[in-house]
Amino acid sequence: MSLFLISKTKEKGIVIENFKTLSLPPLTPYQLFTVANHKAFFIDVQSQQVLGMIDLGYLGNIVLSPGGQFVYAVESFYSRGTRGKRTDVITLYDGKNLSVVGEIIIPPKRFLCVIKKNTQALSGEGRFLLVCNITPASSITVVDLHQRKFLREIPTPGYVLLYPYEKRRFIMIGRDGSLLVFSIDDEGHLEQRRRFPAGFSMNDPLFEHGLYLRKTNQYVFISYEGLLNFLQLEGPAVQWGKKEDISQGSGWRPCGWQLLSCDPLEKNLYILMHKAGKEGHKDSAEAVWEVDMTNQKCKRTISLERPVDSIQVAAQQKTYLCCLSRKGYLDIYDLQKGTKIGSMEELGEGALLLLSYCS
């Protein structure tokens, strides 16, 4: 029967279509990845189009290489789908067309949790990828991306999550709020390690989704009650700096998931907010507060048409505030006017992260 159909197709002169892989357009600051359950979408917020998609393994996440050469997917797979032998891998995707170009098998220990930006991190120069492990003992896996191989595991008892800065320095947070600061050498060996005491009250915990401010080499975190905490970085030393209360009795509090972003010049900080409710720190946001970084005061409130959970500023000639919901929609606001200009739908269930090559 199949031979008959092929011959009939040729007789009618129908050309059999050959599929080919398309290349993505040149990178711009308007291009973002949204990460959801089992999927990552590559989108252009200016044209409001999906440019590509990556299927991810169990609780998969991605890391973007500087310059857009590669996308690194951190994934877990089971031999029987939901059970059986577990394999953890780093899958390498070509940034030009999102095709698989390699795979690095790592120990099956990575921290399996709701997708977070800081369960894995790239070193500043882009050579090493570090992955958090919990077995339940905590450690980190070190991968050399240039040689495409697993190097070693470094124990980090009591400390989880990774906050990279400078060339090869990283911060991890302990359960008591203390910090572990370490660096690795050219071979991926532990080079330096120092501990620093907690710089915030455990009665007012911090959201773990801190924002790195490259121009001033510091991280900014916000507490559940709205206290901005600045962590100054200088080589192997870190120091908690000033704290500013942005809510100031207004009845509003921070909320959401990826709740902080800033403009490219780091003049303004954008924070997801809602009218305070007990145990509501993971609720979706009703508004975005624009905070002046010179005085840490709220100078504008942008009301949101729909609740969202994560934000990311995308800027070039125009500046957009991209607002992502765990329900899979993305609302796009003109940041200068504070008005919604468009939206994208069906970006995956549990969509929680917005990632940019430019941030």
Tell whether 222 and 315 lie within a shared domain: yes
Last residue of a domain, one of 198, 227, 257: 198
The pLDDT of residue 9: 52
Q: What residue ranges of the chain have pLDDT lower than 70?
A: 1-13, 277-278
In a domain? residue 340: yes
Tell whether 222 and 191 lie within a shared domain: no
Tell whether 193 and 87 lie within a shared domain: yes
The pLDDT of residue 2: 47
Tell whether 194 and 81 lie within a shared domain: yes
In a domain? residue 44: no
CATH number for the domain harbouring residue 87? 2.130.10.10
Q: Are 43 and 32 in contact (CB under 8 A)?
A: yes
For residue 350, what are the CA distances in angstroms to 173, 232, 271, 310?
A: 25, 33, 20, 11
**How many CB atoms are located within 10 Å of the residue 290 CB?**
18
Tell whether 172 and 251 lie within a shared domain: no
How many structural domains does the chain have?
A: 2
- 120 in helix, strand or coil? strand
In a domain? residue 38: no
Last residue of a domain, one of 170, 198, 226: 198
Tell whether 280 and 223 lie within a shared domain: yes
In a domain? residue 193: yes
Last residue of a domain, one of 198, 232, 253: 198
| Distance separating alpha carbons of residues 79 and 100, to the nearest angstrom | 20
Tell whether 222 and 348 lie within a shared domain: yes
Can you give the pTM of this predicted structure? Answer: 0.92
Tell whether 225 and 316 lie within a shared domain: yes
pLDDT tens digits for range 262-318: 999 999 999 999 997 667 788 999 999 999 999 999 999 999 999 999 999 999 999
314, 286, 273, 41: CA torsion to nearest 10: -40
For residue 99, what are the CA distances in angstroms to 22, 102, 330?
A: 10, 9, 25
In a domain? residue 41: no
Tell whether 222 and 354 lie within a shared domain: yes
In a domain? residue 205: no
In a domain? residue 351: yes
- 45 in helix, strand or coil? coil
Tell whether 255 and 164 lie within a shared domain: no
Tell whether 145 and 256 lie within a shared domain: no
The pLDDT of residue 277: 64
In a domain? residue 323: yes
Tell whether 222 and 194 lie within a shared domain: no
Q: 258 lies in which domain range?
A: 218-358
